[in-house]
Amino acid sequence: MPPIARAQSYPSRPINVIVTFNAGSAPDIIARLLGQRLSERLGQPFIIENRPGFGGNIATEYVVRAPPDGYTILMPVSTNAVNATLYPNLNFNFIRDIAPVAGIAKTPFVVLVHPSFPAKTIPEFVAYAKANPGKVNMASPGNGSSNHIFGELFKIMTGVNLVHIPYRTPFVPDLLAGQVQVAFGPTAGMLDLVRSGKLRALAVTPAKRLAALPDVPALGEFVPGYEAFGWYGLGAPRKTPTEVVNKLSDATKAALGDPKSQASFVELGIEPMPFSPDEFAKFIANETDKWAKVIKSVGIKVE
């Protein structure tokens, strides 16, 4: 009897991973690290495609409109949860239109000041800021960025008055020059500056201290209940078959458990976050609600 023709199992061709930020950014680096591991496990290339712009909404809408076949997937990041409130007139609904596939990693942030700044601890910083209201400038890449809203949550919980300075160009040179006094920066991009003494780390933003900076306290040690971090995951267009989502999710979980992946993440100062689709969906909903409250409380508007 002639052989029965069967559809090729997924994946049968390369998979495009759409990243919301530029090449060389933290999401791009993590996407390439993970893509290599997924390619080894699933036998097809994972092609990283950067589509920056409009706060990550360009890339997200591109995936929302893509065929739901598992060959165009998104690396959603914490910005997506923020954008759900920050941009009220988007042509898509992130929670409704992107199917959560897997959590990948958490990226902690660190509270940074210039070494000449008089405060060496968070209590000293809060005291200084309260004694000098409106005289401490907080830099960020722009209104509604993770750097910005993490700082706004700190302001709400401590009652300090920091002047937000949004930058359209990188803010780090001005922080290094002491022209702005404080910033909340992603640990992965700031470790070398802290370790070299060019910037002083007052605290990290997760609930616990980091292995990469064991002597730097968690902000929650001084501000009870404070916790904030960036995050990365995988998402697919709505209506992507469940079996495809599960196959990608299982492969991602296995890849995150690989010692090579774990070593790479530790080196970058990030923590694996191997969430299942259901776990990732609940996490996204909680993050969206948490930052919506901050955005509405402060009245943050996009520029």
255: its two tokens = 């890849």
Dump pLDDT digits (tens) for 138-196: 999 889 999 999 999 999 999 999 999 999 888 999 999 999 999 999 888 888 999 99
Largest separation between any pair of C-alpha atoms in the chain: 87
| Residue 32 scores a pLDDT above 50 | yes
The beta-strand segments (E) located in 5-148 are 15-19, 46-50, 72-75, 98-113, 136-140
Q: Residue 142, by phi and psi: left (phi above 0), alpha (psi -120 to 50) or beta?
A: left
DSSP 210: B
Q: Given pLDDT bands bounded at 50, 70 and 90, which one contains residue 212?
A: confident
Q: Given pLDDT bands bounded at 50, 70 and 90, which one contains residue 1?
A: very low
d(CA 187, CA 193): 10
Element (H, E) at 277: helix 277-298
Q: Which residue ranges form the domains of the chain, and what is each CATH number?
A: 15-106+228-298 (3.40.190.150), 108-221 (3.40.190.10)
d(CA 250, CA 67): 21
Dump pLDDT digits (tens) for 116-147: 999 999 999 999 999 999 999 999 988 999 99
Dump pLDDT digits (tens) for 66-123: 999 999 999 999 999 999 999 989 999 999 999 999 999 999 999 999 999 999 999 9
> Which amino acid makes up residue 166?
P
As beta bridge partners, residue 185 has 110
Dump pLDDT digits (tens) for 219-262: 999 999 999 999 999 999 999 999 999 999 999 999 999 898 88
